[in-house]
Amino acid sequence: MNEILKAPFMEEMAETAANMYRLGWDERNGGNISMIVTEKEASPYLELSAPPLRKIPLGFDASSLAGTLFLVTGTGKYFKNVKKDPETNLGLIRVSTDGAQAELLWGYKDGGRFTSELPAHLMSHMARLSVDPEHKVIIHSHPTNTLAMNFVHTLDEREFTRTLWQMCTECILVFPEGIGMLPWMLCGCNSIGEATAAKMKEFRLVVWAMHGIYGSGKSLDEAFGLIETVEKAAQVYMLTARLPRLNTIRDEELKTLADAFGVSYRKDFLGL
């Protein structure tokens, strides 16, 4: 068996967590990441037929993901520590055949368990897989400017998206389908998971009002890059929100851009 800490999926996960911490998006244990790992990717590093280290009840039905492996951040674990100690701060789990339990194959070395937001993650994985068979990653984070913008901008999906599209020319190309918005809700429970997953059928990005954001993608880079782009646009918004606005990217210009790059965008989010 090869050294699992050297596995590309492990190194990329640790690197992503380190970048999220470096950018100030994930204070303390704020945020969580889950990524599908294929058996082909995992088998050089783990004996997949061995009995699991532990079984942890999921508390919801994940039977459509039975047998799927996920690398997941641990609950209460600090993003700043993931890279220096992946085996304590991450776990590799497999959804049991009946979809009721997580079988721990590696990690959570100190007796820990998966993120409290696993319902939102696994339900979002199900939703994204139903529209994109290549989907792999869900990231939840608390990026500063995105969060700040929640307090001073309307939380309407169309208005929030359109404002962000206006902040940086390339936003409409990066997230042409826009951003799903949820009102403030209790986190860490099945109902916010169900609400997030319902939005994830339509959007790769979902804002949890006054809490943070979810991003999804076929890779860690895609999910990270979506959040990074939103956060950059939100930063430009926050830097300019109280200043007189002299210029803007007009709706016709956003349309010209999307048409030139052949991007299918939410036309009803523009005022044309």
Cβ closest to ligand 13P, residue 24 vs residue 188: 188
CB 107 within 8 A of CB 77: no
State the binding partner of 231 from ligand 13P, Zn ion, none, CB within 5 to 8 A by kind.
none
Cβ closest to Zn ion, residue 30 vs residue 59: 30
Cβ 58 to ligand 13P shortest distance, Å: 14
194 in active site: no
Residues that bind ligand 13P (rule: CB under 6 A) add up to a total of 13
State the binding partner of 75 from ligand 13P, Zn ion, none, CB within 5 to 8 A by kind.
ligand 13P
Which of 15, 27, 47, 117 is the catalytic position? Answer: 117
Site for ligand 13P in 79-118 (CB under 6 A): 115-117
Q: What whole-number distance in Å separates Cα of residue 118 and Cα of residue 33?
A: 9
Cβ 207 to ligand 13P shortest distance, Å: 13
Q: Which residues pair with 104 in a beta bridge?
A: 54, 93
Per CB under 6 A, 32 contacts ligand 13P: yes
Q: What whole-number distance in Å separates Cα of residue 230 and Cα of residue 239?
A: 14
Backbone φ and ψ of 193, nearest 5°? -65, -45
Site for ligand 13P in 12-31 (CB under 6 A): 29-31
Q: What whole-number distance in Å separates Cα of residue 219 and Cα of residue 197?
A: 18
Per CB under 6 A, 75 contacts ligand 13P: yes
Q: Which residue has the tokens 């061995």?
A: 50
Q: What's the N-to-C CA distance of the chain in angstroms?
A: 59
Cβ closest to Zn ion, residue 119 vs residue 212: 212
Consecutive H or E run containing 35: strand 32-37
Q: What whole-number distance in Å separates Cα of residue 75 and Cα of residue 83?
A: 16
Per CB under 6 A, 183 contacts ligand 13P: no
Encoded one letter per residue, x for contact with ligand 13P by CB under 6 A and - for no contact, window 192-231 reads ----------------------------------------
Q: Is 149 helix (H, G, I), strand (E, B) or coil?
A: helix
Cβ closest to ligand 13P, residue 116 vs residue 144: 116
Q: Is 48 helix (H, G, I), strand (E, B) or coil?
A: coil
Cβ 23 to Zn ion shortest distance, Å: 15
**Cα angle, residue 204 at apex, residues 93 and 202 outer, rounded to 5°:** 115
Q: How many CB atoms within 10 Å of residue 61?
A: 14
Q: Which residues form the interface with ligand 13P (CB under 6 A)?
A: 29-32, 73, 75-76, 115-117, 140, 187-188
Which residues are catalytically annotated? 117
Q: Which residues form the interface with Zn ion (CB under 5 A)?
A: 212
